[in-house]
Amino acid sequence: MKYLDFVDSTYKPKETDLVCTFYLEPEGISLNEAAGGVAAESSIGTWTELTTTQPYVTRLAAHVFSIEGNIAKIAYSIELFEPANMPNILSSVAGNVFGLKALKNLRLLDIQMPKDLVNSFKGPNYGIAGIRKLLKVPERPLVGTIIKPKLGLNTKDHAKVAYDAWSGGCDIVKDDENLSSQKFNPFEDRLSQTLESRDKAQEETGERKVYMVNITAETDTMLKRAQTVLDQGGEYVMVDILTCGWSALQTLRNQNYKLVIHAHRAGHAAFTKNPKHGISMRPIATVARIIGVDQLHVGTVVGKMSEAKAEVLENIDACKAELGGLKPVLPVASGGLHPRLVPALVETFGNDVVIQAGGGIHGHPDGTVAGAKAMRQAVDATLKGLSLEEYAKRHKELKTALELWKA
The answer on 319 and 255 residing in a single domain is yes
19 and 50 assigned to the same domain: yes
Helix (H, G, I), strand (E, B) or coil at 67: strand
Mean pLDDT of 87-91: 97
Compute the distance between CA of residue 250 and CA of residue 184 in angstroms, rounded to an integer: 30
Candidate list 73, 148, 158, 297, residue with the active-site label: 148
Q: Check residue 51 and give its pLDDT.
A: 66
Count the domains in the chain: 2
Beta bridge partners of 332: 297, 354
Final residue in a domain of this structure, among 66, 87, 118: 118
The pLDDT value recorded for residue 49 is: 76
For residue 172, what are the β-bridge partners? 144, 210
Q: Per-residue pLDDT averaged across 271-294, rounded?
A: 96
The pLDDT of residue 73: 98
Domain stop point among 84, 118, 152: 118
Q: What is the pLDDT of residue 50?
A: 74
How much is the mean pLDDT over the chain?
Answer: 95
Residues 90 and 172 in one domain: no
Catalytic pick from 158, 262, 264, 364? 264
In this structure, how many other beta carbons lie within 10 angstroms of the beta carbon of residue 49? 10
CATH number, residue 343 = 3.20.20.110
Whether residue 372 sits in one domain with residue 351: yes
> 110-152 pLDDT, tens per residue?
999 999 999 999 999 999 999 999 999 999 999 999 999 999 9
Task: Note whether 393 and 309 are same-domain residues.
Answer: yes
148 is catalytic: yes
Indicate whether 172 and 220 sit together in one domain.
Answer: yes
Same domain, residue pair 112 and 58: yes
3-state SS class at 179:
coil
Here the CATH number for the domain that contains residue 30 is 3.30.70.150
What domain range includes position 271?
127-404
Q: Are residues 132 and 108 in the same domain?
A: no
Distance between CA atoms of residues 369 and 375, nearest Å:
10
Asked if 175 contacts 203 with a C-beta cutoff of 8 angstroms, the reply is no
**In the listed set 99, 118, 137, which residue is the last one of a domain according to the structure?**
118
